[in-house]
Amino acid sequence: MRKLMLLAALLAMLIVAAIPAIAQVSQETEQEGESGEVDQSFTVTSEGDNSNQCAGIQGVANTGNAQNNTNILQYASEADDFEFEEVGGTITVSPVNTTECTQMVNQAAAASAVK
């Protein structure tokens, strides 16, 4: 009986000693995403009496930040205990611009010969 009480006291001391160590396990992360402004301007000009122009213009911009902070605290576990399925950040920009131009010059020219 005395050995059992000694073992119980030893386990109680072990638990009391381990609680502060467990309480100190923490992890803090901070990630901020900032983006700037986009200013796109396009100018198409054409000059002349007989000019023909087709301009397919498309501006594409992205100022975002891909957030990829994964907050994991590994305590009393193994590295393969975690599964990373939807982690990481992606920014996809896939514009499509289809411009069809049918350009023709229909000009009647008269040629006269001086005799």
User: pLDDT digits over 45-92, tens only?
Assistant: 888 777 778 888 888 887 777 777 777 766 666 767 667 776 666 777
Structural domain harbouring 16: 1-25
**Whether 89 contacts 31, CB under 8 Å:** no
What six digits make up the tokens of 74?
Answer: 């590994």
Residue 75 lies inside a defined structural domain of this protein: no
Residue 65 lies inside a defined structural domain of this protein: no
**Whether 60 contacts 93, CB under 8 Å:** yes
Band of residue 102 on the pLDDT scale cut at 50, 70, 90:
confident
Residue 9 lies inside a defined structural domain of this protein: yes
Residue 48 lies inside a defined structural domain of this protein: no
pLDDT of residue 22: 59
Q: What's the number of domains the chain is made of?
A: 1
pLDDT, mean over the chain: 75
Tell me which of 51 and 101 has the higher pLDDT. 101
- What does each C-alpha distance from 109 to 50, 54, 105, 106, 112 come to in angstroms? 13, 25, 12, 10, 10
pLDDT of residue 107: 66
The pTM of the full predicted model, rounded to 2 decimals, is 0.36
Residue 16 lies inside a defined structural domain of this protein: yes
Tell me which of 38 and 75 has the higher pLDDT. 38
